[in-house]
Every structure is written in structure tokens, then in C-alpha cells.
Chain A
Amino acid sequence: MGSFDLYLMGWQLIDPQVFLMIFLGTLLGIIVGALPGLTATMAVSIIVPLTYKMSPVVSILMLLGVYCGGNYGGSISACLINIPGTPSAIMTGLDGHPLARRGKAGLAIGMATLASVIGGLFSVFILSVFSPIIANIALKFKSLEIFGVALFGLSVIAYVSPGSTLKGIMAGFFGLLVATIGFDPTIGVSRFGFGSTNLLGGIDFVSAMIGLFGMSEMLANIEKTKKERDFGFLQEKVTKTWGALKYIRKLKAVLLRSSIVGVIIGAIPGAGGTIAAITAYGLQKKVSKYSHLMGQGTLEGIAAPEAANNACTGGAMTPLLSLGIPGDAVTAVLIGAFIIHGIVPGPMMYTTNPDMVSAIFIGMLLANIIILFIGMPGAKYISKLLKIPSQILNALIIALCIIGTFAIKNSLFDTCVMLTFGGIGYLLSKAKVPKAPIVLALILGPMMEENLRRWAALAEGKYWTEFVNAVLTNPVTLSMALATLAVLLAPIIMKKKHFSEDDIQFTSTASDIDPNDIIFAEKK
């Protein structure tokens, strides 16, 4: 770990302007998170091209603010109108909404805010302590190990995608094929170019992402009737949010447990805030003494998922910074942001851009603190935004998708890619095929192919001996090989059902509880 330089260096980069942008980013993230239909991933995807002209520090930190804010913002609408603003807030509403209905909306939101902030801060701590260590190890990675990491990342997503695993893997493979369009990494021959210089450049994954997550949502939205799109507004008053503070001490075990879950799941490439929230809620339900009360308005039912989904942010940033691999969909988009600014995320960052790394730690710290100060007093204003008519909002998003994509490389071809993937995404959601594997394949695919073939070229035909050699002599290779093997064989061995968001049964949320009943924490 060495000196504290790594942690202090970043301060130089943070001037009032940067701070303002982090603030704006976090605010934007919270707002977007609070609006159902807009996900954090979408927000970050669309905002990446907007930050293009800013300096790297400003843009990355602003995006991190959006990221952290977005993961939190979903809880606001989940609690108030029982529609999660982002998928990661799915579990929050189970307890948040009943609590709000009982007149304690402020308490619910307050708890959600505090839990998010605590989870987030915990994960930044873990990120800053562990990622340099991981980075150091990562510097010893050669092509074979990097290939292994990419393969590992890809194999995990297949297991955590909603819906059928087979379809998830197929989507991933489709993404791998799309990723081969362009120049061959080893030889430089053009593949699937069909004579078009545009295709030679390959498919820009940021455009594909905006199309897949943004545009396709818009296309799907138009199918719903106007009534379905506009959200009802709970007329609950959101007051006394700080009241939740006094329950924190009693919930500290819950918070710690959920934060750890969030960090670990975040760090697994491919698993993100939603999975973290679900896992944490599920775990809490198993260990809680009051599990029968969960789903009816308990504070732990709010604290667990919210702490987890925000802890996911730091967790997902860890592999991003130390290995250059995204920990979840949003960090995958962040890779694009880094690259646009000429920074290649990965272990070398600790050598070539240590000030950037340090600024990231500090920025995330600030973002989480800002969430506290926006969320607590501001939640009631944000909830008013839920009233924007969807037709205007959707039109705005469409315009942003198009112009934003165009702005990345001044290329109308990219916008065509965006639209194409919008169509593909729409069709995929009809076929209930998960979309995230495609994007992850677009990012990890080239990495995987490049390194695999480079290793093959270096091995000069002696594949088996080289492989065995590496596994035996390099502890890193050995662990990578074992980990990947474990992931691939796990379902067969354990016969455990994989995570599936479809599988979550939504228990009825508005149970008729006697208003005189006190919620569990107050009982103590």
C-alpha cells in the first residue's frame, strides 16, 4: 500500500469547479434515478458524450456522481409511488412503500438515504484500500491471465442475467461476434468490413449501449398506454427525514452485512446493483429475527437493499481501476468515458495516472456525502419531478440519445449503430433475452480475443505445454484458471438455482396493518 500519497494526491485536482460538477452529477443521478423508466445505466450512457469536452477529472468524477446518485435515487419513487426508479430499488419498495403509506414517508426515505450513504462510503473505503493491492498483482498479468480475467467476466454474466441462462449466454456470444467487426487484432486484416470504412472502425460500444439501453426503452415505452406511462403520485408528505438517524446504531449489523454483500457482488464483473440489493434483502430476511415483518414496512427491509446497491458502486470500481474490467453495466459505460478521455483503465493507472485514481477515491467519497445532503432535505422536491408528462420526457431522451451519440465522434454512422441496437434491444426484450451480456461482450470480447490470440502467437504452436507451464509457475494464472473453472462448473455441481430477477415474488406491499402497530425498530 505504501505511502498515503495515493489518497492525498487527488486533492490537488479537486477545485471548486470539480466539486460543483460532482454536485451536479450526483443531483442529476438522483433525479434520473427517481424517475421510473430511466435507469442509472441509461443516464450514465447518455451523459458520457456530454462530458466529452470537459477535462478527464471533471467528467469521470461527474459520472461517478451520477452513478452513486442514480443507485440511490430509485428508492425515492420506490417508497413514494411503489415503482422503483431504477431496478436496483426493487427491494427497497417492498418495505419502503408500506412504511410511507403509514404516514412515515420521511422516515422511509431518510433510512434509504442514510443506508445508501453508509453503504457507499464503506465501498469507497474498500476500493481505496484494496485496489492498489490488486493493481500491483495485476501488473504481473500477461496475455494469458488477462484472457482468463476477461473469460471469467464473461462467464459470470451469463449466470446472473435475468431469465434463462442459455439465452443470456447466446446474447453474449452474439455480442462477441459483433465485436469481431473491424480490424483483426493480431494481423490487422479487415473483418466483416464489406468495403465500408465506417464498419472498419468496428462497432463503437458506447453507441451500441445507448441504443440498447436508452433507445430500446423508448421504443418499448411507446407501446404502453399513456396511463401506464404517467405515474401516480403519492400525496404523502416527506418530512422529518433525519428521524431515521436514531435507528442507525441498532441497524449497524444489517448495514455492515449488506455493505459487504454489495461490495463483493459489485466486484464480480457483470453483477450489479440490482443483484446486490436482491441478495442483501434475501440474506437479511434469512438472518433477521423479524423476518416475518419484512415486507410490511420494516426499517431493515429498507436499509439492507439500499446499503447493498450503493456499496456496489465502490465494489464495481475496484476491478475497473485495478484490472480494467467493469464490475457492472455502469462501470462498463465508464470504461468508454475513460477511453474517450485517453485514459486506459487498468493497473498501469496507478503508475501513470495516480493522481486520477486518487481523485476518484476522493470524488466518490464526496459524492456519497453529497447524497446525504441532497437526499435528506431534498427528497420532497425531487418527488415533485415525478409529475413531468412522459411524452415530453421521452421525446427529450430520444433527442439526447441521437445527438449525444453523434457528439462522440461526430459520426452519423454511430447514430445509425445506436438506432440499430435500439431496434435489436427492443426485439430482444420481446424475446425475453437479457441485453446486458451483449454490452459486456462488446467490451470484454475484444480483450478476450486479443489476448488469447496474442498468447497463441507467442506460444508458437506449443499451446498445451505453455499453458501447463504458466499454471504451474505463476500463482496468478493458477487462481484465474481455478476461478473460471469454478464459475463454469458451479451450477452443475451445486445444483443451485441461479439468480434470476424474474424469480422474485413480489409480496403484496400494501398490507392492511393497524396504524397503531409500531415498526420493529421502535419496538426495541
Chain B
Amino acid sequence: MKRTVSVVLCLVFVCFFAFAGGGKEGSAEGEAQYPKGDISVLIAAAAGGGNDLLVRALLPSLERTLKVSVVPVNQPGGRGAIAFNEVASARPDGQKLYFNSKSALLMKFNGIEEAKMERLVPVAQAAEDVSIFVVRSDSPIKNIKDLINHIKTSKERVKAGNSGMGALWHLSQILFCQTIGSDNILSIAYNGSSPMLTALVSGEVEFVTCGPEAKSFIDAGKVRPLCVVYPGRYPSFPDIPTLKEETGLDYDYPVWRGFFTTAGTDPKILKILSDALKIAVESEEFKKFTAVGMIASFKDSKAFAEIVDKEQKSLEILMPGVMAQIKSAESSGGKK
């Protein structure tokens, strides 16, 4: 009997808190000092991956500048949708940041409708990425021109790998096909770059498009890079020719990685964050990190916002066609 009473009391206790704590309304904070306590950065990727390591490399400097703890939180769920949601529906006080690459823009087109970029505001860009085309080291395809020829002339669809249907590098692959004028490929989705590259090595697919994460495979001699898609030679991979050099064709595919926060945050807070990030991007720790593939490239809130906006507009035009193409490839059951 006594125990029942305590249970009931506790129930009441908790319910009281539950009701009292309801409703998270909060207008943009006033001139209150920023930052107010720990900042958390929600990373839309698993620990140990490219995005994650990048953020962690920036943390020491950020903490020094802002004088608070900056805590990284990995939230890879739902392809970044969960982290997105959490930041987008948080209070616009700059305490929660969202970090992702250009993939963030693609979420909306992949069926995650609430991932509208208007719910977030760009803070700053931190790094840049590049698409690389690779084949197996013992493949008969020696350079990108061979690949293009192969695609154009092969009777069967050329088997290609991507690290996620409709995701970052797949899009690059599709643009590539549009640029060379032939879509004679069968692109198969893998759950990330690592299994994709493994499948490439085993011979299951003939070529793949991925980012700088291929570096370890390239260095181990298991794969051969054919080209990068970049205005000039990519600093981390100076030996790989660009698509333009080899063929004269090119397409624009900048891949950025940056920070966002909740829409409606006070521009003053954005400026503080942006400045802190600038210092962080130039810090020692970050320089060490970028030695492994990505390159540091800072853009402040205004510049970043412009880039994001521009890309969003071009994606709005591009994506419906792309998604339709993917769907038609599927509905033909893979048969030509």
C-alpha cells in the first residue's frame, strides 16, 4: 500500500513537470550574451566518417574562441533527416548547429519532405570536396576517355556503383552522363563508399564515382583514379587529371560542407559564429585534418548563403528530371 502511494506520488510529480514544461515557444533571443552555455553540433553522419572527423578537427579552436564547450553529436539517422529536424525545430538561439555537406539539399528530393532548407539558415562553409571517378587497378580502362568510349559503345549497360540512390555522388554521375551524352549505365546503390569501393575491387561494377574517401584505396593500389571534376587540379590529388583536361568536357559540381542553424537566428549571433569558424578553419588542427583529402575553404554566412541559394535554385530545375530518369530506369526493370 505504501509503495503504491509513492508510485502514484511520483507519477503526479512527473506529470506536473510534463505539463509545466510543455510548449517550446521562444522568439529570437534579444541582446542576451551569446553563447549561453554549451553549443551542440549535430553531425549528420556516423562517428569516424569524413563529416565527423572534420567537425571534430574544428572543435578545439571553436572552444578556444567562444569559450564554451562545443559538443559534437552524431545523428546519422534517416540520412541526416533526424539531425536536420532537431536543429530546424530548435530555438533560434544559435545553440544548436547542423553540419552536413551538399547532401542536405538533396534530402528534399529523396522523399524527406520536411527537409526544406528554408527552415535553416547557413552559418559558414568549412570545406570543399570533389568527385573522383575510379576503376579497379587491373581494369582495361586506363583513362577517362576509355571509359567514355566504353559507355558509348558497350552493348550492355555499363555497371556503375554509387554510394546512395539520388545521393551526392550519384548526382555527379548522372551529370557526367548528361555531359558526355550517353546514359548507357546501370547504376547500383551501395550503403556508403566503403562497400562500394570493395565491390569495385571485386569486379562487381566497372567504375564508381565518389569523393576523397577513396584516398586509402588509391594509396593501397587497389583502384585507379581516372579523373576529378574540378576547375583545376585538386590540391590533395595533384596527380589526377581533371575531366576538362582529358576530354574538354566539363560540368560544374562543387561540393561544399558547412554549418547551419535554425532559421530566424539573430544575424549578430550568426556573425559571431561565422567569425569563430573562420579562425577555426585556419587553425592548426584543421590543417592537419585536411591533409587527408578534403580542402579547407571558408565562406562566411553571406557568401555561403548565396552559394546555397544558387545551388538550391539549380537543383530545383535539375532534380525533377534526374529523379524521373532514375525512376524510369527502375520501372523498365533494368532491361533496356
Residues of A at the B interface (CB closer than 8 Å) are 52, 56, 139-143, 182-183, 185-190, 197-198, 200-202, 204, 339-344, 346-348, 351-352, 409-411, 446, 450, 454, 457-458, 460-461
B112 beta carbon closer than 8 Å to chain A:
yes
Q: Which B residue sits closest to A456, measured CB to CB?
A: B334
With A187-B330, A197-B82, A458-B159 already in contact, the answer to whether A348 and B77 are too (CB < 8 A) is: no
- Are A143 and B204 in contact (CB-based, < 8 A)? yes
Residues of chain B lying within 8 A (CB to CB) of residue A460: 157, 186, 333-335
**In the docked arrangement, what's the CA distance between A200 and B195, Å?**
21
Residues of chain A lying within 8 A (CB to CB) of residue B199: 142-143
Chain B interface residue count, Cβ-Cβ cutoff 8 angstroms = 49
Smallest CB–CB gap between A73 and chain B, Å? 29
With A200-B78, A344-B194 already in contact, the answer to whether A457 and B186 are too (CB < 8 A) is: yes
Residues of chain B lying within 8 A (CB to CB) of residue A351: 216-217, 220, 222
Residues of chain A lying within 8 A (CB to CB) of residue B73: 409-410
Most B C-beta atoms less than 10 A away, residue of A186, A348, A446, A450:
A348
B52 beta carbon closer than 8 Å to chain A:
yes
Smallest CB–CB gap between A132 and chain B, Å? 15
Residues of chain A lying within 8 A (CB to CB) of residue B112: 190, 197, 200
B203 beta carbon closer than 8 Å to chain A:
yes
- Are B198 and A340 in contact (CB-based, < 8 A)? no
B166 beta carbon closer than 8 Å to chain A:
yes
Smallest CB–CB gap between B147 and chain A, Å? 19
A340 touches which of B46, B79, B82, B202 (Cβ 8 Å): B46
- Are A342 and B335 in contact (CB-based, < 8 A)? no
**In the docked arrangement, what's the CA distance between A34 and B304, Å?**
57
- Are B111 and A189 in contact (CB-based, < 8 A)? yes
Residues of chain B lying within 8 A (CB to CB) of residue A52: 47
Residues of chain B lying within 8 A (CB to CB) of residue A186: 165, 188-189
- Are B47 and A341 in contact (CB-based, < 8 A)? yes
Per DSSP, chain A at the interface is loop
**In the docked arrangement, what's the CA distance between A74 and B110, Å?**
50
- Are A409 and B201 in contact (CB-based, < 8 A)? no
A-B contact pairs, 10 of them (CB 8 A): A140-B203, A187-B165, A197-B85, A200-B77, A201-B78, A204-B77, A344-B192, A346-B198, A411-B82, A458-B159
Smallest CB–CB gap between B267 and chain A, Å? 28
**In the docked arrangement, what's the CA distance between A236 and B167, Å?**
64
Smallest CB–CB gap between B189 and chain A, Å? 6
- Are B203 and A142 in contact (CB-based, < 8 A)? yes
With A190-B111, A201-B82, A454-B188 already in contact, the answer to whether A461 and B335 are too (CB < 8 A) is: yes
- Are A339 and B46 in contact (CB-based, < 8 A)? yes
B74 beta carbon closer than 8 Å to chain A:
yes
**In the docked arrangement, what's the CA distance between A202 and B76, Å?**
11
Smallest CB–CB gap between A496 and chain B, Å? 36
A201 touches which of B47, B77, B204 (Cβ 8 Å): B77
- Are B49 and A140 in contact (CB-based, < 8 A)? no
Smallest CB–CB gap between B23 and chain A, Å? 18
With A186-B189, A188-B110, A197-B85 already in contact, the answer to whether A342 and B46 are too (CB < 8 A) is: yes
Residues of chain A lying within 8 A (CB to CB) of residue B27: none
- Are B202 and A454 in contact (CB-based, < 8 A)? no
Contact with A along B141-160 (1 / 0, CB 8 A): 00000000000000001010
B6 beta carbon closer than 8 Å to chain A:
no
- Are B47 and A410 in contact (CB-based, < 8 A)? no
Residues of chain B lying within 8 A (CB to CB) of residue A204: 77
**In the docked arrangement, what's the CA distance between A164 and B260, Å?**
53
- Are A340 and B186 in contact (CB-based, < 8 A)? no
Smallest CB–CB gap between A289 and chain B, Å? 51
- Are B48 and A409 in contact (CB-based, < 8 A)? no
B204 touches which of A197, A342, A458, A461 (Cβ 8 Å): A458
Q: Which B residue sits closest to A196, measured CB to CB?
A: B78
B284 beta carbon closer than 8 Å to chain A:
no
10 other contacts beyond A344-B195, A347-B198, A411-B77, with CB at 8 A cut-off? A141-B202, A186-B165, A188-B111, A344-B194, A351-B220, A409-B73, A457-B334, A458-B186, A460-B186, A460-B335
Residues of chain B lying within 8 A (CB to CB) of residue A348: 194, 197-198
Q: Which B residue sits closest to A454, measured CB to CB?
A: B188
Q: Which A residue sits closest to B50, measured CB to CB?
A: A342
B217 touches which of A200, A352, A454 (Cβ 8 Å): A352
- Are A197 and B188 in contact (CB-based, < 8 A)? no
Q: Which B residue sits closest to A145, measured CB to CB?
A: B202
**In the docked arrangement, what's the CA distance between A139 and B195, Å?**
11
B159-191 contacts to A (CB < 8 Å): 159, 164-167, 186, 188-191
Contact with A along B295-336 (1 / 0, CB 8 A): 000000000000000000000000000000000001001110
Residues of chain B lying within 8 A (CB to CB) of residue A188: 110-111, 164-167, 189
B81 beta carbon closer than 8 Å to chain A:
yes
